[in-house]
Amino acid sequence: MQEFGFESEGKLMPIVESEVEKPAAQGAAMEITVSRQDLVKELTATQSVVERKTTIPILSNFLIEAEGDRLNITATDLDQAIRTSAEAKVKKPGACTIPARKLYDYVKLLPEGDISIKLLENHWVQIRSGRSNTKMVGMARANYPQVPEFPTVAVTSISTLALKTLIARTIFAISNEESRYTLNGALLVIKAESLAMVATDGHRLSFVEKPNEILEGISGEKRVLIPRKALQELQQLLSASDAEKVEFADDEHTLFFRVGHRTLSTRKLSGQFPNFEAVMPRDNTKFAVVRSSELSAAIQRVAQFADERSGAIRLRLEGNELKISSSSTESGESEDTIDTPYSSDPIMVGFNSVYILDFLKALNNEGEVRLEFKDSQSAGQMRPEDPDAEYKYRYVLMPMRI
């Protein structure tokens, strides 16, 4: 399959370990009470970040800190971290670390009501609820890595709905190839009056922009590369929150997103994101407009008979018809036809069926889409056919030779 003509190197920024270590004595007597419902909610929000197969055992633990009337929970895998909190009755302030998966699985099985958590000697932690009494083996709080603090300057507020939409329409186009560091994330482009995101894996590119989005504190343009894993976490945090705004900030090595009382921090991807503007088609003059749902249904049927490895299908425009076809020696052949106004020269282009379906799914298979072509060897472009759309959305696909 053809690829866009760009290649770039980059990698995750090095983690900056803080010199500051909390004294081991801290948390020597921690004792709190928290409602099970609140605790489960916060453990659910953080446990996906916890490192499962780690060579550093402490990363399998939650850091639990109690002070004032809050219980703070931190999870990290060194690349990213989530911090959250819940209301609690703090008898004795302090801190401890508890095996994350075990705590999460156990607390979910407890009945509703209050749970008391008490730090014992040798980092053991006692958890009591009703007539249940459990002791878990923790680890020294002093060994827990320092998690970067949310910056106090240059914080930008971004609409939660806009950020959710941007992620949903680009995340599927991020590259899975570990060797192509700069393609392992999406580029967020923030300007004073617009917000955009772009992702590519070299075979396809997804670009979405929300114009007329006023962002305070931004002069000129700010570009940040967000790793895919962080975008997945951010998607979950945004879906679970009713906050209308996300607070965004960054420092030299880290990006921060504060969603309500939860904060996600992630290491920046370093390196240069490819010049995506250069691959945007400029002269795709042949086009057809079809209903998203109709196109999706036809492609799903025809793709059953495509080559299993490539998923390749043919799109042929001729005489007011779009013909979608596929064939393979193993399974046979299939063709579907959709009526659409088209009177230009006939054109046939091959594409990966999965890539087109990803795009249509991002549109919830709603409305109409415009398919734009130049010739059978050049990149095709797809976009929603709605001049009044709130978002400008362009999806560029490299053709396949079939």
The CA distance from 318 to 331, in Å, is 26
Long-range contacts of 334-340 (CB under 8 A, 24+ apart): 334/301, 334/302, 334/304, 334/305, 335/302, 336/298, 336/299, 336/301, 336/302, 338/290, 338/294, 338/295, 338/298, 340/288, 340/289, 340/290
pLDDT in 10s for each residue of the chain, 402 residues: 777 776 555 556 555 544 343 443 444 589 999 999 999 999 999 989 987 777 889 999 999 999 999 999 999 999 999 999 999 999 999 999 999 999 999 999 999 999 999 999 999 999 999 999 999 999 999 999 999 999 988 889 999 999 999 999 999 999 887 777 678 899 999 998 899 999 999 999 999 999 988 887 777 888 999 999 999 999 999 999 999 999 999 998 999 999 999 999 999 888 888 899 988 999 999 999 999 999 999 999 999 999 988 999 999 999 999 999 999 999 999 999 999 999 899 999 999 999 999 999 999 999 999 999 999 999 999 999 998 889 999 999 999 987
Q: Are 227 and 253 in contact (CB under 8 A)?
A: no
CA-based Rg of the chain, rounded to a whole angstrom? 25
The CATH number of the domain covering residues in 156-276: 3.10.150.10
The CA distance from 368 to 215, in Å, is 30
For the domain 280-397, what is the CATH superfamily, name and number? DNA Polymerase III, subunit A, domain 2 (3.10.150.10)
| Mode of pairing for the β-strands spanning 221-227 and 262-267 | unpaired
Q: Are 274 and 182 in contact (CB under 8 A)?
A: yes
CATH 3.10.150.10 in the chain: give the residue spans.
Answer: 31-143, 156-276, 280-397
31-143: CATH, from 3.30.70.1060, 3.10.150.10, 3.20.20.190, 3.50.50.60: 3.10.150.10
